[in-house]
A and B are shown apart, each in its own frame.
Chain A
Amino acid sequence: DIQMTQSPSTLSASVGDRVTITCRASQTINTWLAWYQQKPAKAPQLLIYKASNLEGGVPSRFSGSGSGTEFTLTISSLQPDDFATYYCQRYNSYPWTFGQGTKVEIK
């Protein structure tokens, strides 16, 4: 199975910081990658699909890039509402897999 490795596991940042989260696939997945945000006691929400496409209603400070095996999620200017856990997920073939998550904490 294709594994997804996210880094870092935890990230401490301040409001206004530029934040980058990386996701690496153990084999190429083209651009079949999504990013989700999850807040405590809430269901995850889709942010980015097909590696770089912003889901409707998601603020433009979120962006995604990459293809093949390396992908990034960038928050251009961190806002208070962005402190959450972020997951990448590949969906090129079954079984799908999620990264282990990156928790963005207040510095």
Chain B
Amino acid sequence: EVQLVESGGGVVRPGGSLRLSCAASGFTFHDYGMTWVRQVPGKGLEWVSAINWNGGSPGYAESVKGRFTISRDNAKNSLYLQMNSLRAEDTALYHCVRGGGYNHLDCWGQGTLVTVSS
């Protein structure tokens, strides 16, 4: 069974940093691109970032470009999102999702909540 389990969320002050992690299991991790999608509770979905199978060609939403960095460790079956210079508008549930490049998002984690507040 495919599983994606996010961790690392929490409460952080504006301007602070957080690193989200996603532990993948149940599939050959290095065969897939991976993506982060966020959702403010009660609102729509927002694509944040994606990375291809070997860690190359990352993409970022304009709203996070220059502040967030996506990375992966295929030896550890893990995906990461380093979030710096956090703003109140980054407050959301962050989902780790299988898929990237020209591949649709076919498996979603339950998400980790990030709250940016003073």
Contacts and interface: CB of A to CB of B under 8 A. Distances in A.
Contacts of A55: 106
Interface of A: 1, 32, 34, 36, 38, 43-46, 49-50, 55, 87, 89, 91-92, 94-101
Contact of A87 (B45, B104, B106, B109): B45
B107 to A, nearest CB: 8
A55 B10 CA distance: 34
Q: At the interface, is chain A mostly helix, strand, loop or mixed?
A: loop
Interface of B: 35, 44-47, 50, 59-62, 95, 99, 102-111
Contact of B103 (A36, A38, A91, A98): A91
A90 to B, nearest CB: 10
B104 A91 contact: yes
A8 to B, nearest CB: 14
Contacts, number: 58
A100 B102 contact: no
Given A36-B105, A91-B103, A91-B104, A101 B44 contact: yes
Nearest to B61: A95
B41 to A, nearest CB: 9
Contact of A95 (B60, B107, B110, B111): B60
A96 B50 contact: yes
A85 B44 CA distance: 9
Given A44-B95, A87-B44, A95-B61, 11 more contacts: A34-B105, A44-B45, A45-B108, A46-B107, A50-B104, A89-B47, A91-B105, A95-B47, A95-B62, A98-B44, A98-B47
